[in-house]
């Protein structure tokens, strides 16, 4: 394990994550973080000079449909439920002084 994580780093990460770790949990976290960094170092050894950057491993196309109004303006029907209405809108009691 080439990447050695210090106790200060674990304390700092714990503060950032708002975690209270016991001594045993801190040691386990140090080992886990070291293994993660070792794996990243291993990935950095790969030659990616001929690989085009991508955001996803599969081709992603826009799957959204066109936004088309199908039911029209039904405001008159909606306003039938209003206890009071004024100028084609719901009228409610004033709540702010």
Position 81 confidence tier, pLDDT thresholds 50, 70, 90: confident
pLDDT reported for residue 54: 84
pLDDT, position 2: 63
pTM for the model stands at 0.48
End-to-end CA distance of the chain: 66
Model confidence pLDDT, tens digit, residues 2-61: 678 899 999 999 999 999 999 999 999 999 999 999 999 998 888 988 888 888 888 878
Give pLDDT, residue 44: 87
Q: What is the helix, strand, coil percentage profile of the chain, to 5? A: 40, 0, 60
């Amino acid at each position: 394990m080439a990447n050695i994580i210090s106790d200060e780093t674990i304390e700092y990460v714990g503060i950032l994550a708002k975690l209270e770790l016991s001594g045993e949990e801190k040691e386990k976290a140090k080992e886990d973080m070291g293994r993660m960094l070792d794996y990243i170092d291993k990935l950095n050894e790969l030659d990616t000079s001929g690989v085009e950057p991508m955001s996803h491993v599969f081709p992603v196309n826009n799957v959204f449909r066109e936004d088309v109004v199908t039911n029209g303006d039904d405001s008159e029907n909606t306003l039938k439920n209003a206890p009071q209405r004024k100028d084609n809108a719901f009228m409610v009691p004033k709540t702010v002084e």
